[in-house]
Amino acid sequence: MRNPLKSAIWIGVGISLLLAAFIAPFASSSPDGLERIAKDHGFLGKSEAPGVSVWNHAPVKDYAMPGVKNEKVATGAAGVAGALGTFAAAYGFARLACRKNSDKA
């Protein structure tokens, strides 16, 4: 018999990946809240100076997968990569938590 919780989790992962791939490219290009505050208070450019920000070396800058020429495809690919990374991290933490709980028993 299949575990209904595992099935629900995998369905949720699949839906999330589909949303990341096909809905993310249509997200607003307007600045997000933190970026807007930085712009309004005049310190946005300070974080973008060369060598100042760790984001200058980010693997996926500006929510677009590098090397992909089509902007919408690059954004969708970045969304899928981000979702997969998040799920992988959550899965790893869950495995560690379950292992610690089973060791106590």
Distance separating alpha carbons of residues 50 and 55, to the nearest angstrom = 10
pTM of the complete model beyond 0.75: no
Residue 54 has pLDDT above 60, yes or no: yes
80-102 pLDDT, tens per residue? Answer: 999 999 999 999 998 898 876 66
Distance separating alpha carbons of residues 90 and 29, to the nearest angstrom = 28
In this structure, of 18-22, 36-40, 56-60, 99-103, the range with the lowest mean pLDDT score is 99-103
- What's the average model confidence in pLDDT over 62-82? 90
Q: What's the Cα-to-Cα distance from 4 to each of 29, 34, 70, 94, 96, rounded to whole Å?
A: 39, 39, 39, 18, 22
* Most confident by average pLDDT, 36-40, 60-64, 85-89: 85-89
Q: Give the model's pLDDT for residue 21.
A: 94
* Ranges of each domain in the chain: 4-104
